[in-house]
Amino acid sequence: MRSQAVPSRIVAACAAGALFAWAGAAATENEFPDIPTPFLASTPLAVDEMLRLAGVGPRDVVFDLGSGDGRVAIAAARDYGARGVGIEIDGKLVEESREHARRAGVADRVEFRHGDALEADVGAATVVTMYLLAPLVEKLKPKLLAELKPGARIVAHDYGFRGWKPDRQAMISKNFYLYVVPAQAAGKWQLRAALPGGERDYELEFDQHYQELRGGVRVPGGFLPAYEARLSGERITFVLVDDGMSHRFEGRVRGKAMEGVVCSGPGRAPAVNAWRATRVALDKS
């Protein structure tokens, strides 16, 4: 890594490099030693790539967890017109970040909070960026899934989440992983759709592993699989084959209901109709 930091920081960067190598080796043995993440600043290129991969724009609120000297939050405000929030546990770095923001002329659009990323209130974020060691990334996962709104994007630099497939990935000098927080589609739903053959009621059921869905509908005497079922934030898509044609469902999951349009039949002029599903009370039996 090229160090663009002040000379005093080069020593820290080298030490951190050694820690990173060690943590990497340990991770392959499925063990996560809990070392505090050292301050190792992302290069300007890596900062750009994280914000680019997340598609950051003026309507975004970018939270950088472990914001160091503030460069990600500042770049989000200065280069992408977003608002930036940095969470940093080192009080000295928080002070530095505020000074950097003033100099960059974005002090009114960025905010730095002195605190632990695990304790921070991140609910307002539309984008979360992080460059943290694997154990902390894993600890943050349930928190982010619970507190972020469906559709919020998480960009991880070097260390991604285990078991959660990134929605997109880029390898430009380093690995960058983009995750879109999925809505909750797991469970049973009562689906009503106007199809070309008439109005249909189906009992729809999904298993969910992050954004990946598996499931289908019960019909008298059988089960129709939901093909190509996927979630991207609150957007859901799946395909049912019934009456000898494909029905492509697209819609949004909003709490206990989802609704959208269904395109039936092939080609340029499919029949387009509305569908709606409501969640059937969860029973664990």
Partner 1 sequence: MTGIQHKKRDTRGRFLLGVLAPWRFNSRSWFSLASSASFPLEAAPLTGSSAVRGWVVGFWLAALAAAPALAQPALEIPYVPTPQIVVDEMLRLASVGPRDVVMDLGSGDGRIVITAAQKFGARGIGVELDDQLLIVSEEYARRAGVRDRVTFLEQDLFKADLSQATVITLYLLPSVMRKLKPRLLELKPGTRIVAHDFDFEDWKPDHKTTIRKNVMLWIVPAKAAGRWQARLPIPPIERQLEIAFTQRYQEITASARLNGVQAQVWDAALSGDRLRFVIVDSTDPDNEANLYFEGRVIGNTIEGEVARGVGAARATYRWRAIRTSP
Of 80, 70, 81, the C-alpha closest to 103 is 70
Q: Does 241 bind partner 1 (CB under 8 A)?
A: yes
Q: Which is nearer to partner 1, 200 or 247 (CB)?
A: 247
Q: Which is nearer to partner 1, 171 or 281 (CB)?
A: 171
Per-residue exposure over 93-106, b if at least 16 CB sit within 10 Å of its own CB, e if not: bbebbbebbeebeb
Mask 56-85, x = binds partner 1 (CB under 8 A)? -------------------x--xxxx----
Q: Does 250 bind partner 1 (CB under 8 A)?
A: no
Q: Does 116 bind partner 1 (CB under 8 A)?
A: no
Question: Given candidates 219, 239, 271, 280, which one binds partner 1 under the rule CB under 8 A?
Answer: 239
Within 162-191, the residues that bind partner 1 by CB under 8 A are 170-173
Residue 178 per-residue DSSP state? E
Number of residues that bind partner 1 (CB under 8 A): 29
Q: Which residues contact 176 (CB under 8 A, 6 or more apart)?
A: 46, 49, 50, 53, 155, 156, 157, 169, 170
List phi, psi (to 5°) of 39: -80, 110
Let me know if 59 is exposed, middle or buried by CB neighbors in 10 A (0-12, 13-18, 19+): exposed
List phi, psi (to 5°) of 115: 175, 180
Q: Please state the closest distance from residue 57 (CB atom) to partner 1, in A.
A: 10
Give the interface with partner 1 as residue ranges (CB under 8 A).
2, 43-45, 48-49, 51-52, 75, 78-81, 170-173, 227-228, 239, 241, 244-246, 265-269
